[in-house]
Amino acid sequence: MPADLSAIDKAKFVAALRAVDHVESGMKLGLGTGSTAAWMVRCLAERIRDEGLRVVGVPTSIRTAELAQSLGVPITTLDEAGWLDLTIDGADEFDPELNLIKGGGAALLREKIVATASDQMIVIADAAKQVAQLGAFPLPVEVIPFGWKATQAQIEEMLVSMDVLARDVRLRRAGDDPVLTDQSNYILDLHLRRIGNPRQLSLVLNQIPGVVENGLFIDICDKVVIGHGDGRVQVRDVNSSEIEEEYVEFKPTDNIFADLDE
C-alpha cells in the first residue's frame, strides 16, 4: 500500500485488510460501495493475485463493478449467483446493536438487497463511524423521481410523530441537478440529528408511496471491523459482548495500491 497515507485512510485500509481475512476460496461475495469498500476490493484483488484465491463478487454499484473489473476481481450478477456467502461493505454510522445508516454513496438499495441475500454481512469502518445513537449522519431515502415533492411532503408529515430530534428533509443534489442512483432514482436526505426508534422509522418510511428504500440497516450486520490510524483493529460481533483487538502491520509495496499515491 502507499507509504504516505492519512490516519483516516490507514484506518480504512487496516479494517478492509482484516475483513478480507474472512474470505475463503469458493465464496460468492457481495462487494460494497464507498471509499472504505474500495479498499476492501483492492485487498481482495491482492489476495486473488498473490494467493490464487478463487471467488466471485456481486458489486453493489456500477463504480464498484468498474473497480473490481479493473483489478481482476471476477464479478457476476446477484441473479446468477443466487445466494451469497458474505457481503463486506462500509457504513456511514453504526450503533452498539450494529444497526447501520448507509447510503452516503447513493447505493443503499443495491447494498441492502445484496446484504440481505448473504449468509453474513461484515461492515468495515473507521472509529469515527461508531455512535451511541443513530441520526447524526443524514438518513438517505431513495425515492422515484415522479412526484418526489409529494413523497417528501408525506415524509415530513410522518416525521412529526416519530422520535427524532429534527425533521429537515432535503433533495440530494450535484450542483443544480438531483443526484441519480444507479436505478435513476432520487435521494432525499433526512437530517434528523437523533433517531430514537430506528426499527419503527424504517418500517414507516417504506410504507410511503414513492419511497423505494431507506438507509437504515436493522438486524442485517453480523460483525463490524473498526480500523484505527495507528494500525489497531477492533472486531465486534453482534452475538458477543467481547471485542477482539489486534494490530495490523502494513508496509509500502509496489502493488495494486500504487495508483493511490497519484
Map out the domains of the chain with their CATH numbers. Answer: 7-131+219-254 (3.40.50.1360), 139-214 (3.30.70.260)
Task: List, for residues 157-181, the tens digit of each pLDDT value.
Answer: 999 999 999 999 999 999 999 999 9
Segment 127-161, tens digit of pLDDT: 999 999 999 999 999 999 999 999 999 999 999 99
Give the model's confidence band at 212: pLDDT under 50 very low, under 70 low, under 90 confident, else very high.
very high
- pLDDT level of residue 240 (50, 70, 90 thresholds): confident
Q: List beta partners, residue 189.
A: 140, 170
Annotated binding-site ranges: 33-36, 89-92, 102-105, 129
Distance between CA 118 and CA 86 in Å, rounded?
A: 5
Q: Which residues, in sequence order, are bridge partners of residue 23?
A: none
Q: Say how far apart CA 126 and CA 85 lie, in whole Å.
A: 24
Q: What is the mean pLDDT of the chain?
A: 94
Span 83-100, mean pLDDT? Answer: 98
Q: Compute CA distances 11 → 29, 30, 81, 201, whole Å.
A: 22, 21, 31, 31
Record the pTM: 0.94
| Distance of alpha carbon 104 from alpha carbon 92, whole angstroms | 7
214's CB contacts (< 8 A; 6+ apart) are 103, 108, 139, 140, 141, 142, 201, 202, 205, 206
Q: Note the pLDDT tens digit of each residue in 9-18.
A: 999 999 999 9
Q: Catalytic residues, which ones?
A: 111
Q: In this predicted structure, what is the pLDDT of residue 259?
A: 57
> Which segments are annotated as binding site for substrate?
33-36, 89-92, 102-105, 129
